[in-house]
Amino acid sequence: MVITDFLERNSRLYGQDTALVVVSPSEKRDQAVTWREASLIESATDSPYRREINWRTFDQMANRFANLLLSREVPRGTKVGILMMNCLEYLPIYFGVLKAGCIVVPMNYRYSSDEIKYCLDLADVEILVFGPEFTARMDAIADDIPKVRTMFYVGNNGPIYTENCMKVMGFTSTEAPPISLNEDDYAAIYFSSGTTGFPKAILHKHRALYSSCLTEQNHHGQTKDDVFLCIPPLYHTGAKMHWFGSLMTGGKAVILRGIKPEWILRTVTEEKCTIVWLLVPWVQDILDAIDSGRIKLDDYLLNQWRLMHVGAQPVPPSLIKRWLKVFPHHQYDTNYGLSESIGPGCVHLGVENVDKVGAIGIPGYLWEAKIVKDDGKTEVTEPEEVGELAVKGPGVMDCYYKNPEATEEILKGEWLLTGDMAKKDADGFIYLVDRKKDVIITGGENLYPVQIEDFLRKYDKIKDVAVIGLPHQRLGEIAAAIISVKDGMKCTEEEIVEFCNDLPRYKRPRKIIFADVPRNPTGKIEKPVLRERYRAANLVEQQITS
C-alpha cells in the first residue's frame, strides 16, 4: 500500500467532507463576528482569510497535476521540486507528483537564491513549482539552473519563464492517472535542516511515507472526528508526517499561516481543533501571553482540544510542567525524529507516560532504538551511560542522494545513527543529552549544552537560551550562554551567575550574552549561526585580556 491509496479512499468514502482548511489570520475577514460566534458557524466560507477543499476536490486536484506531468511526457522517477509557503495548493501538488510516479522534492522556504540553486542541482530537479513569494529569488537564478526544464507558477502574473500552474491544470483530467505504485518505488527527497552546513538530500521510498502514517495514527489515536491544527512548514517532514494521521483516518486538517498566540487559540476555537502540534517557542509564547494577561482563556472555546504534542528539538521539562498546570485536561506527547527517519515518531514519550516528562520516550510503533558507543555498533547497557542514539525501522532513509560517503557514515546495516547523544534510565526511557557535534569539551570535561539550557530555563526571567562552545586559549572551549529575556523584564549577568551557583562548577557558563536566540522554521536553535557570530569576538577579547 502507498499513501496515495489513502487519498483515493477518502475521496471515495468521505468525498464531501472537509479535508483541508487554510487560515490566514493576517488577511481581512469577510464577516465581523466574535470568536465564540465564529466557532458555531457550520458553513465554510472561501476568502483570503479562510479557504477549504473537500476530499474529492483534493484528490481531483492531485490527479490533475499528475496528468499534467504525464501530458508533458515527464518520465517516471523525475524529480519535481516544490518551493511554496503553506497554502491550499501545496498538498494536492505534492500528491500529484507521487501519483505521476515522480519523486517529490519539498524545499525550505527560507533558502536564499544560492541555496535554492544548490539544492535544485543536488537533487537533479527537472520540474519546479513555486509561489509568488519566491519570484525575486528565482529571477536571480532562472538562467543558471540548466537541469530545470519547466517551471510552474502558483499565482497570477508569474514571471515570463513560468507557466501558470492552476491554469494549465484546468485542461487536464480529474481521473486517476494510469500509474501503478508500490512500496519499493522512490517517493521523496527531503533536505537535512542544514544546521551543520550545506543541506544533504535524503532519499525515501514509498514504504517510509506509508509507515509514518501507521506510526502517527498508532501514537495519537486519530479518528475521523479529530481536527488537526498544522502550523509548521509543509516542506518539513515533521508537519506533513503528523498530518498523515489525519490522512489515514479521513479527518480534517487546518493549516494556520501564522504563529501569534492569539491566532493559534482563535483557530483552535473556530475550527474546533482537537490535536495541535507545537514547537517549543510557540508553547513559550502562549504561556507568556497568558501569564501577562494579554490572553484570557475565557475568551476561547477549548474544551474539545484533547492533545498537545511537541517535537523537532529538545523540550525543556519545566516548560511542559508549566503547560500542564494551565491545561490540566490535555494529553501530552513528545515526538522525536529526524528527516533521515521520515520525521517524528521513531521515539516518542506516549500520552500514558506523562510522569516521564523530560524523556523523549521509548521506541515508536514499528521502530527499535538503542544507544551505542563510539564505534557505532557496540550497545550501551548501563543506565545513565551516554552514547549515540541509533534507530531502526521502516522509515529509515534509503540513502543520502549522490553522497555515498555520508550515507556510509550514518547507516550501519539497518541502523541509522542519529548524531544525538542520549542515555536511558532504569525503566528504559531515553533522554536526549545533546547533539554529538554540539558537545563542549572544556578542560578535558564533556559538557552537554542541553542540560545547561534546561537548568537556565528554570529562571523566571529567561524566555529562551542557547549554550554554545567558544574557543579558549587554556581550556580549549568554554560554555557561553546566549540568553533572551522575557518581554518587559530586565536581567543582569550577576543574576545569572548567582543562579548558576547550583550547577557543578565545571558546568557553569563562563560567558553570558544577552541577545536573541535564532531558531529555524522547525524550532531548532541555529547554533552554527551563533558560533560564527561570537567566535571571532571571543578570540579578540582573549587577546586583549591576555
Within-domain flag for 404: yes
- Give the burial class of 13: count Cβ atoms within 10 A of its Cβ; 0-12 exposed, 13-18 middle, 19 or more buried: exposed
Residue 524 banded pLDDT, cuts 50, 70, 90: confident
Here the contacts of 67-72 (C-beta below 8 Å, separation 24 or greater) are 67/100, 67/172, 67/173, 67/175, 67/177, 68/96, 68/168, 68/169, 68/172, 69/96, 69/97, 69/100, 69/102, 69/127, 70/100, 70/177, 70/179, 71/172, 72/150
Q: Are residues 128 and 199 in the same domain?
A: yes
What span, in angstroms and rounded, lies between the C-alpha atoms of 189 and 399? 10
Q: Which of 241, 274, 304 is the last residue of a domain?
A: 241
Q: What is the mean pLDDT of residues 254-262?
A: 94
Give the domain CATH number at 81.
3.40.50.12780
What span, in angstroms and rounded, lies between the C-alpha atoms of 435 and 506? 19
User: Rounded to two decimals, what is the model's pTM?
Assistant: 0.83
What span, in angstroms and rounded, lies between the C-alpha atoms of 239 and 245? 11
Q: How many CA atoms lie within 13 A of 127 on its CB side?
A: 26
Least-confidence region, from 186-200, 328-342, 362-376:
186-200
- Give the burial class of 138: count Cβ atoms within 10 A of its Cβ; 0-12 exposed, 13-18 middle, 19 or more buried: buried
Give me the amino acid identity at 80. Answer: V
Comparing 385 with 520, the larger pLDDT belongs to: 385
Q: Which of 435, 457, 487 is the last residue of a domain?
A: 435
Within-domain flag for 146: yes
Give the pLDDT confidence score for residue 201 in this predicted structure. Answer: 96
Residues whose CB is less than 8 angstroms from the CB of residue 327 and which lie 6 or more positions away in sequence, other chains included: 302, 305, 308
Q: Are residues 46 and 169 in the same domain?
A: yes
What span, in angstroms and rounded, lies between the C-alpha atoms of 201 and 339? 10
527, containing H or E segment: helix 527-545
Query: What's the domain count of the chain?
Result: 3
Within-domain flag for 345: no
- What three-state secondary structure class fits 254? strand
What span, in angstroms and rounded, lies between the C-alpha atoms of 314 and 279? 10
Give the pLDDT confidence score for residue 543 in this predicted structure. Answer: 46
Q: Which of 382, 417, 435 is the last residue of a domain?
A: 435
Within-domain flag for 537: yes
Q: Are residues 389 and 480 in the same domain?
A: no
| Torsion angle of the four alpha carbons 131, 132, 134, 139, in this order, in degrees rounded to the nearest 10 | 110
Structural domain for 424, as ranges? 370-435
Does residue 476 carry a pLDDT above 90?
no
Within-domain flag for 508: yes
Q: Are residues 511 and 478 in the same domain?
A: yes
Give the pLDDT confidence score for residue 537 in this predicted structure. Answer: 61
Q: Are residues 431 and 464 in the same domain?
A: no
53-63: buried (b, 16+ CB within 10 Å) or exposed (e) per residue?
bbbbbbbbbbb
Give the domain CATH number at 393.
2.30.38.10
Q: Across all residues in the chain, what is the average pLDDT? A: 88
* 214 neighbors 366 (Cβ within 8 angstroms): yes
Residue 26 banded pLDDT, cuts 50, 70, 90: confident
Within-domain flag for 358: no
Within-domain flag for 339: no
Tens digit of each residue's pLDDT (9 = 90 or more) over 32-56: 434 333 333 333 345 788 999 999 9
Q: Are residues 377 and 522 in the same domain?
A: no
Q: Are residues 406 and 536 in the same domain?
A: no
Within-domain flag for 312: no
Q: Are residues 450 and 380 in the same domain?
A: no
Q: Are residues 144 and 187 in the same domain?
A: yes
Residue 536 banded pLDDT, cuts 50, 70, 90: low
Give the pLDDT confidence score for residue 391 in this predicted structure. Answer: 96
In total, the chain counts a number of residues equal to 546
Give the pLDDT confidence score for residue 532 in this predicted structure. Answer: 80
Tens digit of each residue's pLDDT (9 = 90 or more) over 285-295: 899 999 999 99
Does residue 202 carry a pLDDT above 60?
yes
Give the pLDDT confidence score for residue 364 in this predicted structure. Answer: 95
Give the domain CATH number at 525.
3.30.300.30
Tens digit of each residue's pLDDT (9 = 90 or more) over 333-369: 999 888 999 978 899 999 999 899 889 999 999 999 9
Tens digit of each residue's pLDDT (9 = 90 or more) over 389-431: 999 999 999 999 999 999 999 999 999 999 888 899 999 999 9
Q: Are residues 418 and 452 in the same domain?
A: no
Residue 376 banded pLDDT, cuts 50, 70, 90: confident
Q: Are residues 73 and 132 in the same domain?
A: yes
Give the pLDDT confidence score for residue 469 in this predicted structure. Answer: 86
Does residue 437 carry a pLDDT above 90?
no
Q: Are residues 379 and 480 in the same domain?
A: no
